[in-house]
Amino acid sequence: MSKIDDIKSSVAAGKTKLVTGLVQEALDEGQDAQDILSAMVDAMGVVGDKFSAGEIFVPEMLVAGKAMQKGVEVLKPILSGSGAPSLGKCIIGTVAGDLHDIGKNLVALMIGSAGFDVIDLGVDVSKEKFLETINSNPDVKVVALSGLLTTTMPAMKETVEAVKNSGLTGFKVLVGGAPITPEFAASIGADAYARDAGGAAIKAKELA
């Protein structure tokens, strides 16, 4: 098995303690940093698929994300000077009135792992905050809204409407969360809906 394959399987298995060393060894062997990153992104794609299929659960996904972050930390100094491609920025947050973060965090993790630069606004995010952040990041590609509560679905609707009517362009709006359906997403004018974190990463890549 090649070093890159080792990295891939270690990320997928969430072996956080191994990944740093493996990535360094791969670099020392002369492997291209971008190839190593791509391998880790692929591994996270597999993790997302397994999560969507119910084969693994949240802890496995979280530790895989953690393992990837360890690898990225090693690559960062090299990639930052190489002009390595990013899929762009993604602004994410749980909508106003909703304090739940686990779904949003998983989506942020998977979208970040897919190659986006994630700006995580946290929970209970007002539409004004979303607009302000989009304004300060005109190169944003995806704005992702999360919501767990049925009671905050109106806040999601208001946020999407505010974003869509703001005159700001160049990005797409992705929504998801327990009570959200594709029909609801379409009805409030969102560009896309994702059922889970793995699906959100795939959808974000399509939108970017």
Partner 1 sequence: MSRLPLKDGLDKTILINKFRKEGNYMLTEKENYLKILNGEIPEWIPQYNYGVLSKKVDSPINMAVRPGFLNEHRKPDGGTDIWGVRWVPTYETGNMMLPAPGEFILTDIRKWRDVIKAPDISNIDWEAMAKKDLELLNIDRSKTAIHFGTHFGYFQTVMSFMGFNEGLCAMYEEPEEVKELMNYLADFYLTIAEKLIDLYKPDIVSLTDDTASELQPFFSREMYVDMLLPLYDKHAKFGRDRGLPITMHNCGRCEDVMEDLFNIGVRGWDPAQTINDLVGIKKKFNNKLVIMGGWDGRGRLLAPDVTDEEIYESARKSINTYGPGGGYVFAGQFTGPVDDPVTIRKNAVLLDAVYELGHSFY
Work out whether 83 is an interface residue with partner 1 (CB under 8 A). Answer: no
Binding to partner 1 (CB under 8 A) within 5-34 occurs at 14, 16
Four-point Cα dihedral 102, 104, 107, 109, nearest 10: -70
Specify the stretch interacting with partner 1 by CB under 8 A; choose among 1-9, 75-83, 135-143, 151-159.
151-159
**Closer CB to partner 1, 98 or 191, in the complex:** 98
- Given a contact cutoff of 8 angstroms between Cβ atoms, the answer to whether 119 and 89 are in contact is yes
Q: Does 122 bind partner 1 (CB under 8 A)?
A: yes
Is 129 a binding residue for partner 1 by CB under 8 A? The answer is no
Question: Using CB under 8 A, which of 62, 79, 84, 131 touches partner 1?
Answer: 62
Write the CA distances from 147 to 99, 127, 134, 181, integer angstroms: 9, 13, 19, 11
The answer to whether 150 contacts partner 1 (rule: CB under 8 A) is: yes
- 85 versus 99: smaller Cβ distance to partner 1: 99
**Closest distance between partner 1 and the C-beta of residue 8, in Å?**
19
Sheet harboring 192-193: ordered strands across?
A: 116-120, 88-94, 140-146, 172-176, 192-193
- Measured from the CB atom, the residue of 5 and 57 that comes closer to partner 1 is 57
- Cα separation values, 6 from 40, 47, 138, Å: 10, 15, 38
Of residues 22 and 208, the one with the C-beta less far from partner 1:
22
> The dihedral of CA 126, 131, 137, 143: what is its sign?
positive
Q: Among 11, 31, 112, 130, which residue's Cα sits nearest to residue 71? A: 11
Residues found near partner 1 in the complex (CB under 8 A): 14, 16, 54, 57-60, 62-63, 66, 97-103, 105, 122-124, 149-153, 155, 178-179, 181, 195-196
